[in-house]
């Protein structure tokens, strides 16, 4: 366990080092406008990664998040055109996310289906509903006041408008995970479902709620996505699910559940965004970026294991040496 | 245990086969052309690639692992095999198959070594290699494409001809399924995979070489994905850098629908193949039934969920009756003599609540 | 006025090509290709072209995605133009063709202070805000191949040919291939949201309704520019429409997949395939008789003109008034669109002459 903790500490160090090195070798990288762009670019991934951390910590997974976000985005566009009110549209979009999450939660906790299988199914279903809703059309007439929120920065700062939302939610999810009873339940369920059940933790209800929250936040991310791109379209957020899961795992959350920290995940999302931006600014081509993404993910699991084996080996050797010298 | 296991396995394939027959019957009743010579041929061609990958994936899933890199392996192998026989190198279909399978086995070795020897979580490892293999393929391919006119006739015609009305691509898939099925069912090392998937620590304790078996499973999955790459090459008469992207989840879905337990320990190659057939057939039949284009994906997703749920409900019902049976049996034995230990260990492999171990 | 005349000239060229090919003789076919290839530049009446292009400009070429032969061919043209104007040219881009992925590269262009960006929008709407930001940062923005929804987000758009011509030519090709008997036809498109394809499909529908009563469009399906999905959609079309006589696929991936499917099925000879395809990919199917003719434009010209237009803009000129590329002058219409020329029709006779 301690080695995993040290991994998420390493992620934070990596983040700091990357930004520092980036600032030295490339002044453009550390410029306000670029850092603002990085924050904006990782917005949806960061949002969805927060509740996904909880889910993976309890040993579940949700692959349908990108489709959920896209469906919420499509509902936003559809409801805006139907009602003419952005407030109604936003509520409808978040509500869509909640329903999507509840369907996942129901199938997993009530019917006892594996979440990997269920969410592969709902990934297709929700994406399909996007096409059923919008077909070949794109909704691109959102009011300018709203779309400005998506891509301009807070006046006087280089920060995008999504920043306060990210900070508030990241802190809130972090507090819940590390300082409340719900958070302790999440760790307990992740360590051992059986033990958690014996301890009186309502495992099914907890997991159901986590799926609903994940859906709701994915819905929120769908709104952010629409505003950032000033349009709602059925193929929005395509493929984001693997990026989210890769970030959470890179942040030191164990895929077996029970281990991880919120700040490790937040650091990981920021680190991956910064590294990508830095490499892109250095002219590293897209094909190499794909390899680096995969390589980093592999490194995040290989390095802790190798480090542990190395220290175990050294300990054993020193013990042998100590035994050999009377 | 052996007889019981076999009974459960047989039972899990029957509903899938039944559902497949229903889909075929309904669609044919509405649209008689669905199973015309050409219609049947096209359907089987469409099934072959996913089917072959599902066969390989079964080996990994029953061990309670997963291989998400199969789509990238397919792309890589299709490109390498295509390059090997391209132009006037005088290459043949056999060379292409050989190259494709070797590429797949090497990729499987990489995955397997990381999972088996470093004991890393399979989902993370294969998600990582998904990106790495895809990037390597894109670097090698760049903007070049291998086109039909550069490939030997033997490869291109392999994709469109058949034997006894069944496409050659499907024969490859069936051959792999037959070999894989017999191996898993009858060979000692094949049975080991189920034992490891049911209870990894116990498997280690009874002396099963877990690491070697894991390596084997990944090599089989890689070889199937590599072979599928050559099928891809033959079917489309070419390959570009996008080949295979996004294939991994449908393959896992096919296995799950076919009754392969994602928590390891149970499932057969036949089931996985039937699952692939069912999913592809449903997809194609939506078009044949003239379902509006924009609704097809949603209905496809819904049908997948229904298939998984129905499978689960059948299983639950069967487990319940088995438990009742076992309880009665126990009571009789209690009456007759000392109590036996509970059957908890046996059930672990099927038990949905141990989702902690979803994706080891 | 000029665009109208241009369009007319180009259309006549294609019409002549169609008529010639209808004649069926191989020499007529070869002749048709050269007439259709005539570029539509108005060398005879030079427009008011902008001033000279500066040397040493830094120009980024951002395709929808990298690793695509079509865009590599366009980049080759761009490099040629860059060599001529002594600019520093680089192709950057994502591996997946989405607006979201392109955004990161637009940011790179801004941060790295490129003088100009020549972009093919993977998504007409989603890159608009980022492109405006780039313009604010002093980057000259020109679109090629695929435009953005908001024309104020770029200076000039270099269009391969007019949507009108693309739509009408494809209807001509299928009508020619199917023959005077006519029958049912279907369209196999790219993604349902692809703006280019949707615009062309609309024109095809109008053209069919107006001039081709013998052809009946019975279905439009989407293969998402995925080879497997496109092939399966083509097979499914034959199931749902047994009397189908032809498939038009206005996308390079779709037309190759449809041709491959038909060439290996019993429908070869009875079902015609045409659309927009790359000669290199389609060669085999034209030669085996599956495809009588198909078309495209020279992608290299898109990159070539794009770089010149961007160069003019980055040097302080306004390419909207028309610009000079190489030794020819190009006109720009009221929407800021410059047209490369009419589509090139490929047949068994001429397909070997093209290397993209």
Task: Provide the pLDDT for residue C32.
Answer: 34
Q: What is the pLDDT of residues A102-127, one digit of tens each?
A: 999 999 999 888 898 899 999 999 99
CB C10 within 8 A of CB C40: yes
Nearest-angstrom CA–CA distance, B56 and B62: 11
* CB burial of residue A324 (10 Å; 0-12, 13-18, 19+): exposed
Strands C244-249 and C116-119: unpaired
Domain boundaries, chain B: 37-278
pLDDT at B3: 54
Higher pLDDT, B85 or C4: B85
Inter-chain touch B359–A131, beta carbons under 8 Å: no
The radius of gyration of chain A from alpha carbons, rounded to an integer in Å, stands at 21
Q: What is the pLDDT of residue A326?
A: 58
CB distance B305–A129 less than 8 Å?
Answer: no
Q: How confident is the model at residue C30 (pLDDT cuts 50, 70, 90)?
A: very low
For residue C8, the model assigns a pLDDT of 46
C228 touches chain B (CB under 8 A): yes
Q: Give the chains touching B; criterion: ≥3 Cβ pairs < 8 Å.
A: A, C
Q: Give the nearest chain A residue to B137 (CA atoms).
A: A287
Burial of C28 (0-12, 13-18, 19+ CB in 10 A): middle
Q: Give C285's contacts in chain B (Cβ within 8 Å).
A: 148
Q: Are C213 and C156 in contact (CB under 8 A)?
A: no
Q: Is residue A124 part of a domain?
A: yes
Q: How far is C101 from chain B (nearest CA, A)?
A: 16
* Subunit contact C129:A31, Cβ cutoff 8 A: no
Q: Do C95 and B161 touch (CB under 8 A)?
A: no
pLDDT at C38 over 70: no
Question: Residue C70: pLDDT above 50?
Answer: yes
Q: What pLDDT score does B4 carry?
A: 53
Q: What is the mean pLDDT of chain B?
A: 85
pLDDT exceeds cutoff 80 at A170: yes
Burial of B242 (0-12, 13-18, 19+ CB in 10 A): buried
DSSP state at residue C152: G
Q: Does the pLDDT value for residue C299 go beyond 70? A: yes
CB of C284 less than 8 A from some CB of B: yes
* Chain B residues near residue A205 by CB distance under 8 angstroms: none
- Total structural domains within chain A: 1
CB pairs under 8 A between A and C: 84
Nearest-CA distance C223 → chain B (Å): 11
Evaluate whether residue A297 is within a structural domain. no
pLDDT bin (cut points 50, 70, 90) of residue A1 is very low
Quick check: is A197 in a domain?
Answer: yes
Number of other CB atoms surrounding residue C274 within 10 Å: 31
Q: Does the beta-carbon distance from A193 to B353 stay under 8 Å? A: yes
Within 10 Å of residue C181's Cβ, how many Cβ atoms? Answer: 7
With CB atoms and an 8 Å threshold, state whether B33 touches C231: no
Beta strands in B14-165 (DSSP E): 162-163
Give domain limits for chain C: 58-159+298-339, 162-296
- Answer CATH for C162-296 from 1.10.3720.10, 3.40.50.2300, 3.90.1150.10, 3.40.50.720: 3.40.50.2300
Instruction: Look up residue C137 and give its DSSP letter.
Output: T
pLDDT given at position C2? 44
How far is residue C121 from each of residues C94, C98, C103, C114, C150, measured CA to CA in Å? 12, 9, 10, 18, 11
Segment B163-181 shows an average pLDDT of 94
* Per-residue confidence (pLDDT) for residue B316, from 0 to 100: 78
**Residues of B with Cβ-Cβ distance to A109 under 8 angstroms:** none
Give the gap in angstroms from C-alpha C226 to the nearest C-alpha of chain B.
8
Distance, CA of B239 to CA of B233 (rounded, Å): 6
pLDDT digits (tens, 9 = 90+) for A210-227: 999 999 999 999 999 999
User: What distance in Å separates the CA atoms of residue C123 and residue C110, rounded to the nearest whole number?
Assistant: 19
Please indicate if any CB of chain C lies within 8 Å of the CB of A237: yes
Interface test with B, best of C97, C226, C230, C264 (most B CBs within 10 A): C264
* pLDDT the model gives residue A301: 86
Mean pLDDT, range C300-308, rounded to an integer: 93
What Cα–Cα distance (Å) separates residue A171 from each residue in A131, A247, B147? 35, 18, 53
- Inspect the interface and report whether the beta carbons of C231 and B294 lie closer than 8 Å: no
- For A284-288, B163-167, C220-224, which range has the lowest pLDDT when averaged over its residues? A284-288
Q: What is the pLDDT of residue C35?
A: 36
- Mean of per-residue pLDDT scores for chain C: 84
* Res. C5: pLDDT tops 70: no
Measured between alpha carbons, how far is C34 from C53 in angstroms, rounded to an integer? 32
Q: In whole angstroms, give the CA distance from residue A150 to residue A236.
A: 15
- Per-residue pLDDT of B260-318, as tens digits, reads 988 888 899 999 999 999 999 998 898 888 888 888 889 989 988 988 888 778 777 77
- Domain membership of residue A209 as a residue range: 2-283
Distance (Å, rounded) from C-alpha C138 to C-alpha C153?
12
Taking CB atoms and an 8 Å cutoff, what residues of chain C touch A285?
66, 92
Q: Which residue has the higher pLDDT, C352 or C5?
A: C352
Could C193 and A238 be called an inter-chain contact, meaning their C-beta atoms sit closer than 8 Å? Answer: no
- pLDDT for residue B360: 33
The model's confidence at residue C51, banded by pLDDT at 50, 70 and 90, is: low
Instruction: Inspect the interface and report whether the beta carbons of A131 and B134 lie closer than 8 Å.
Output: no
Distance CA C75, CA C306 (A): 10
Q: What was the pLDDT predicted at C23?
A: 36
pLDDT for position C89: 92
Sheet holding C183-189, edge to edge: C215-222, C183-189, C244-249, C272-275
CB contact under 8 A, B148 and C284: yes
CATH number of C58-159+298-339: 3.40.50.2300
Tell me the chain B residues in contact with residue A254 when contact means C-beta distances shorter than 8 Å. Answer: 121
Q: Give pLDDT tens digits for C132-183.
A: 999 999 999 999 999 998 899 999 999 988 889 999 999 999 999 999 888 9
DSSP A25-36: H-HHHHSHHHHH
Q: Is B352 left (phi over 0), alpha (psi -120 to 50) or beta?
A: alpha
> Band of the pLDDT at B7, cuts 50, 70, 90?
low
| pLDDT range class, residue C18, cuts 50, 70, 90 | very low
Q: Which residues 268-287 of chain B have a CB within 8 Å of chain C? A: 283-284, 287
| Cα dihedral across residues B276, B277, B282, B283: positive or negative | positive
* pLDDT of res. C309: 93
Nearest CA in chain B to A189: B356
Q: Tell me whether residues B120 and A115 touch, CB distance under 8 A.
A: no
Q: Where residue A286 falls among pLDDT bands split at 50, 70, 90?
A: confident
Given this model, what pLDDT does residue C113 score?
A: 92
Name residue C172's beta-bridge partners: none
Stretch among A14-28, B136-150, C65-79, C127-141 having the lowest mean pLDDT? B136-150
> Is B146 in CB contact (< 8 Å) with chain C?
no
Q: What percent of chain A has pLDDT over 70?
A: 98
**Type and span of the H or E element at C143:** strand C140-144
Task: Please state, in angstroms and as integers, the Cα–Cα distance from residue C52 to each residue in B350, C43, C60, C114, C302, following that order.
Answer: 75, 18, 20, 19, 20
CA–CA separation, C185 and C246 (whole Å): 5
Closest Cα in chain C, distance from residue A164 (Å): 21
CA angle A154, A155, A161 (to 5 degrees): 10
- Answer yes or no: is pLDDT of B348 > 50: no
Segment C297-324 mean pLDDT = 91
With a CB cutoff of 8 Å and minimum separation 6, the contacts of B129 are: A294, A298, B69, B72, B107, B110, B111, B114
Average pLDDT over residues B111-124: 92
Residues of B with Cβ-Cβ distance to C72 under 8 angstroms = 142-143
**Any residues with CB less than 8 A from the CB of B105 and at least 6 apart, and which?**
B219, B222, B223, B226
Separation CA B189–CA B212 (nearest Å): 10
Give tens-digit pLDDT for B215-267: 999 999 999 999 999 999 999 888 888 888 889 989 999 999 998 988 888 89
SS3 assignment, position B302: helix
Per the CB < 8 Å rule, is B124 touching A111? no
Nearest to C128 among A137, A230, A290 (CB): A230
Would you call A125 and B358 a contact, using CB atoms and an 8 Å cutoff?
no
Buried-exposed string A219-235: b where 16+ CB fall within 10 A, e elsewhere: bbbbbbbbbbbbbbbbb
C243 burial level (CB within 10 Å; 0-12, 13-18, 19+): exposed
Separation in Å, CA of A35 to nearest CA in chain C: 11
- Choose among C196, C192, A237, C232: nearest CA to B293: C192
Chain B CB contacts of A60 below 8 Å? 355, 358
Do C58-159+298-339 and C162-296 come out as alike in CATH topology?
yes
For the residues of B144-204, what is the DSSP string, one character each? --B-GGGS-HHHHHHTT-EETTEEHHHHHHHHHHHHHHHHHHH-HHHHHHHHHHH-HHHHH
> Looking at residue A187, which CATH number applies to its domain?
1.10.3470
Kindly report, residue by residue over C77-120, the tens digit of the pLDDT.
999 999 999 999 999 998 888 888 899 999 999 999 999 999 99
Residue A314 lies in a domain: no
The pLDDT > 70 percentage for chain C reads 86
């Amino acid at each position: 366990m301690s080695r995993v903790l040290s991994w998420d500490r390493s992620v934070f160090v990596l983040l700091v080092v990357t930004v520092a090195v980036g600032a030295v070798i490339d002044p453009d990288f550390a410029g306000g406008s670029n850092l603002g762009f990085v924050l904006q670019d990782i917005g949806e991934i960061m949002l969805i990664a927060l509740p996904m951390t909880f889910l993976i910590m309890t040993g579940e997974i949700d692959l349908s998040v990108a489709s959920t976000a896209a469906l919420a985005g499509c509902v936003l566009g559809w409801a805006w055109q139907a009602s003419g009110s952005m407030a109604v549209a936003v509520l409808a979009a978040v509500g869509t996310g909640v329903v999507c999450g509840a369907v996942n939660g129901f199938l997993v906790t009530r019917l006892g289906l594996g979440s990997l299988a269920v969410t592969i199914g709902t990934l297709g279903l929700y994406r399909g509903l996007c096409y059923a809703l919008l077909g070949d059309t794109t909704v691109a007439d959102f009011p300018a006041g709203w779309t400005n929120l998506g891509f301009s920065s807070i006046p006087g700062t280089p920060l995008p408008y999504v920043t306060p939302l990210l900070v508030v939610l990241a802190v809130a999810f972090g507090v819940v995970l590390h300082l409340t009873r719900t958070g302790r339940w999440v760790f307990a369920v992740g360590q051992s479902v059986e033990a958690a059940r014996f301890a009186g933790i309502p495992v099914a209800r907890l997991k159901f709620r986590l799926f609903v929250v994940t859906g709701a936040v994915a819905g929120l991310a769908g709104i952010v996505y629409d505003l950032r791109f000033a349009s709602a379209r059925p193929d929005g957020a395509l493929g984001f699910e693997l990026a989210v899961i890769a970030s959470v795992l890179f942040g030191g959350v164990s895929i077996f559940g029970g281990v991880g920290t919120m700040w490790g995940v937040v650091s990981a999302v920021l680190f991956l965004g910064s590294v990508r931006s830095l490499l892109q600014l250095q002219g590293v081509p897209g094909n190499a970026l794909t390899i680096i993404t995969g390589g980093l993910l592999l490194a995040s699991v290989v390095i802790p294991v190798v480090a542990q084996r190395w220290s175990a080996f050294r300990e054993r050797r020193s013990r042998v040496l100590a035994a050999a010298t009377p | 245990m052996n007889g019981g296991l076999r009974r459960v396995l047989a039972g899990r394939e029957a509903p899938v086969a039944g559902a497949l027959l229903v889909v075929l019957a309904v669609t044919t009743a509405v649209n008689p052309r669905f199973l015309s010579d050409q219609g049947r041929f096209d359907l089987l061609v469409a099934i072959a690639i996913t089917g072959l990958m599902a066969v390989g994936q079964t080996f990994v899933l029953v061990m309670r692992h997963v291989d998400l890199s199969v789509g990238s392996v397919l792309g890589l192998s299709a490109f390498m095999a295509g390059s090997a026989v391209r132009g006037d190198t005088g290459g043949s279909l056999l060379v292409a198959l050989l190259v494709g399978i070797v590429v797949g086995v090497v990729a499987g070795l990489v995955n397997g070594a990381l999972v088996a020897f470093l004991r890393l979580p399979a989902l993370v490892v294969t998600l990582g290699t998904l990106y790495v293999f895809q990037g390597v393929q894109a670097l090698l391919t760049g903007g070049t494409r291998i086109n039909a006119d550069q490939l030997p006739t033997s490869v291109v015609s392999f994709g469109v001809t058949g034997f006894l009305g069944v496409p050659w691509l499907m024969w490859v898939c069936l051959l792999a399924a037959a070999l894989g099925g017999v191996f898993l069912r009858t060979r000692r090392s094949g049975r080991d995979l189920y034992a490891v998937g049911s209870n990894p620590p116990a498997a280690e304790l009874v002396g099963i070489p877990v690491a070697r078996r894991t390596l084997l499973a990944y090599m089989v999955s890689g070889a199937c994905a590599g072979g599928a790459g050559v099928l891809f090459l033959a079917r489309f008469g070419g390959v570009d850098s996008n080949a295979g992207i996004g294939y991994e989840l449908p393959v896992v879905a096919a296995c799950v629908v076919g009754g392969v337990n994602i928590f390891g320990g149970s499932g057969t190659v036949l089931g996985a193949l039937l699952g692939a057939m069912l999913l592809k057939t449903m997809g194609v039949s939506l078009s044949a039934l003239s379902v509006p284009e924009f609704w097809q994906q949603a209905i496809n997703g819904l049908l997948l969920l229904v298939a998984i749920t129905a499978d689960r409900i059948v299983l639950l019902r069967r487990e319940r009756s088995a438990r009742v049976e076992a309880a009665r049996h126990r009571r009789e034995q209690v009456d007759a003599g000392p109590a036996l230990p509970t059957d908890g260990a046996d059930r672990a492999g099927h038990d949905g609540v141990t989702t902690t171990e979803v994706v080891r | 006025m000029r665009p109208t005349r241009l369009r007319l000239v180009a259309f006549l060229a294609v019409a002549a090509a169609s008529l010639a090919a209808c004649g069926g003789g191989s020499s007529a076919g070869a002749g048709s290709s050269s007439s259709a290839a005539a570029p539509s530049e108005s060398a005879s009446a030079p427009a008011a072209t902008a001033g000279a292009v500066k040397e040493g400009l830094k120009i980024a070429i951002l395709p929808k995605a990298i690793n695509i032969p079509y865009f590599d061919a366009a980049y080759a043209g761009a490099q040629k133009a860059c060599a001529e104007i002594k600019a520093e040219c680089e192709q950057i881009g994502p591996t997946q063709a989405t607006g979201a992925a392109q955004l990161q590269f637009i940011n790179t262009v801004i941060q790295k202070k490129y003088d100009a960006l020549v972009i093919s929008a993977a998504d007409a709407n989603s890159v608009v805000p980022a492109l405006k930001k780039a313009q604010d940062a002093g980057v000259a923005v020109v679109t090629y191949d695929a435009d953005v929804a908001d024309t104020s987000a770029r200076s000039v758009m270099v269009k391969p040919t007019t949507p009108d011509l693309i739509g009408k030519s494809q209807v001509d090709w299928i009508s020619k291939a199917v023959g005077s008997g006519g029958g049912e036809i279907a369209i196999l498109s790219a993604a349902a949201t692809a703006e280019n394809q949707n615009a062309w499909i609309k024109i095809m529908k109008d053209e069919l309704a107006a001039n081709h009563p013998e052809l009946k469009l019975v279905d439009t399906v989407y293969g998402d520019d995925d080879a497997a999905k496109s092939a399966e959609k083509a097979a499914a079309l034959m199931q749902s429409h047994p009397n189908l006589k032809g498939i038009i696929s206005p996308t390079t991936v779709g037309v190759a997949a449809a041709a491959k499917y038909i060439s290996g099925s019993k429908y070869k000879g009875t079902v015609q395939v045409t659309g927009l395809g790359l000669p290199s990919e389609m060669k085999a199917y034209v030669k085996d008789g599956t495809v009588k003719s198909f078309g495209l434009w020279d992608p290299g010209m898109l990159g070539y003109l794009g770089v010149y237009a961007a160069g003019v803009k980055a040097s302080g000129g306004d390419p909207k008034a028309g610009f000079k590329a190489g030794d020819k002058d190009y006109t720009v219409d009221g929407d800021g669109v410059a047209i490369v020329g009419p589509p090139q029709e490929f047949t068994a006779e001429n397909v070997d002459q093209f290397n993209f």
